[in-house]
Amino acid sequence: MGKKKKIRDEFDEIFRSGDESRIKKMLAKYPWLLDEVSGKMDKSMLEQREIIAATGVMEDELAGPVKIDDIVLCLNVDFNIRKSEDEVKRILNEVENLGLVKHESSGWILTSEGGQVCDEVLNRTFKDFDL
C-alpha cells in the first residue's frame, strides 16, 4: 500500500501543476487513479449541488440573500445533511467561482445558472414527494 500512496502523492502534484501530458501518462500507466479521481470529483459535485439546493430553498423562504447559518439549518432539516459552517463556506466559494452563486453584503444568492441547478436537484430529490 505504501507504493500506491507514493503514486497518489505524485499524481496529486502533477494534477495541481496542470501538466496535461504528464497527467495523461500517469493515468495511462496507473488506470486505477482515474477511478479515484472520478470518485472524488463526483463527491465534490454532489456536495456543491446540495449546497446550491439549500441556498435556493432558503432564498425562496426568506425572499432574499441567505446567511450561511440558514443554509446549514436547511441542509440539516430539509436534506438531513450535516455540514459545518466552514464546510458550507468553502463550498459556496467554490460554486461562486463557477458562477452559480453570488456573495452580497447580506448573504448569498443564486445566479440564474445556480437556480437551474437548484431546480434540477430539487426535482430529482423530491420527485416522489406528495403534498
List pLDDT tens digits, range 77-131: 988 999 999 999 999 998 898 889 999 999 999 999 999 999 888 888 776 555 4
Helices assigned H by DSSP within the chain:
2-17, 20-29, 32-62, 68-79, 85-97, 112-125
Question: How high is the pLDDT of residue 122?
Answer: 87
Q: Which residue has the higher pLDDT, 66 or 19?
A: 66
Torsion 40-42-46-52 (CA) sign: positive
pTM: 0.70
The whole-angstrom separation of Cα 109 and Cα 111 is 7
What CATH class has 42-125?
mainly alpha
pLDDT for 1 equals 54
Is residue 47 a contact partner of residue 71, using CB atoms and an 8 Å limit?
Answer: no
Q: Scanning the structure block, which residue is given the C-alpha cell 459552517?
A: 85
Give phi and psi for 27, each to the nearest 5: -65, -35
pLDDT in tens, 54-68: 999 999 999 999 999
